[in-house]
Amino acid sequence: EPEVTQTPSHQVTQMGQEVILRCVPISNHLYFYWYRQILGQKVEFLVSFYNNEISEKSEIFDDQFSVERPDGSNFTLKIRSTKLEDSAMYFCASSVGETSVVETQYFGPGTRLLVL
């Protein structure tokens, strides 16, 4: 069964450093998402991406965040200058992208980011 994959599974970084979280969505999916879950809190939407551009973003997704689809398979989330409060589990998700119907999102296993 096709699945969303994410690398790395864990990442430890120093405050102020840049990190790139990588995701490989399900191959025939066209809509991609990033969510995060701070320890003990809700899973929160960050951004959605369709047709090579950001479709929607939350207020969390400020200028320090960016997303990219650098090739035909990867979808990345970059955090330019990490802060302590960026420590969280980051989930990538993808959906088919038939935008006339409700989308079912399939999630990856997550990357746990720890900022020291």
Partner 1 sequence: AQSVTQPDIHITVSEGASLELRCNYSYGATPYLFWYVQSPGQGLQLLLKYFSGDTLVQGIKGFEAEFKRSQSSFNLRKPSVHWSDAAEYFCAVDNSGAGSYQLTFGKGTKLSVIP
Rule CB under 8 A: which residues touch partner 1?
4, 6, 31, 33, 35, 41-45, 48, 55-56, 58, 91, 93, 95, 99, 102-110
Report the residue number, 14 or 53, with the smaller CB distance to partner 1: 53
Report the residue number, 93 or 115, with the smaller CB distance to partner 1: 93
Pairing of strands 111-115, 106-107: unpaired
Give me the least distance between CB of 56 and partner 1, in Å please.
6
| Neighbour tally for 115: CB within 10 Å | 19
The Cα–Cα gap between 93 and 26 comes to 9
Residue in the block written with tokens 């999916």: 29
